[in-house]
Structure 1
């Protein structure tokens, strides 16, 4: 089993922005890593405390049709100076593949070391 990480930001806490960001992030992770949803074991989402309008997992199910995967949501630690309006994800995947993390929008600043690798 492997774990695949990713993150994305929104500019305003609205259900529409959470939906769009969640679908964009997960679509890119799935595409870049050639994932088969039947091998997805669980998906853990975190969101910063300034995101309160919607659960990202809802849009994973509704927007991407991924239904048979366990989802859990957490609040990200509230650290001074941390990146605001950020959704992070950790996907547990039942395979042994090369992993390509995905950090989009302003969340790219969380992992500048990945820019040269991808």
Structure 2
């Protein structure tokens, strides 16, 4: 087993606590699923949010999912002009047998623009 870091981000439609909690829960679950991680493999999670999000702490979302024994930390992103607004990022540290090249980072909604190199291009619908 190795310790790996998995990144993820989601952009919210608005600064609203329910929207924040739902989006972070979705992001967290997608990160676990995409990397075949179980909760016992998690070491720690760091959350950041842009300064325009003031409605709540992203870590509350995973606590509501029952994750009580993993250290969580929230921080504020740098306030950089032109940065993607209303964005929550996470950095999950976990034990896994996956190689670095097999780690799947997850960017949902408008946050996909942050790392187009890591977000799969959706298949075109059949004509």
When the two structures are superposed, what TM-score results if normalisation uses the length of structure 1?
0.94
Structure 2, gaps ≥5 residues long: 123-127
Which one of the candidate residues 2, 8, 11 is aligned to 1:6?
A: 8
Q: Distance in 2 between matches of 1:30 and 1:117?
A: 20
Give TM-score scaled by structure 2 length: 0.88
Q: Secondary structure at the match of 1:12?
A: coil
* Alpha-carbon distance in structure 1 between the residues aligned to 2:92 and 2:63: 14
Paired position in structure 2 for 1:30: 32
**RMSD of Structure 2 on Structure 1 (CA):** 1.4
How far does residue 117 in structure 1 lie from its aligned partner after superposition? 7.7
Q: Structure 1: which 5+ residue stretches go unaligned? A: none
Structure 1 position 11, deviation (Å): 1.0
The residue number in structure 1 matching 2:97 is 96
1:116 Cα deviation from its structure 2 partner: 4.2
Who is 1:85 aligned against?
Answer: 86
- Give yes or no for the alignment of 1:65 onto 2:66: yes
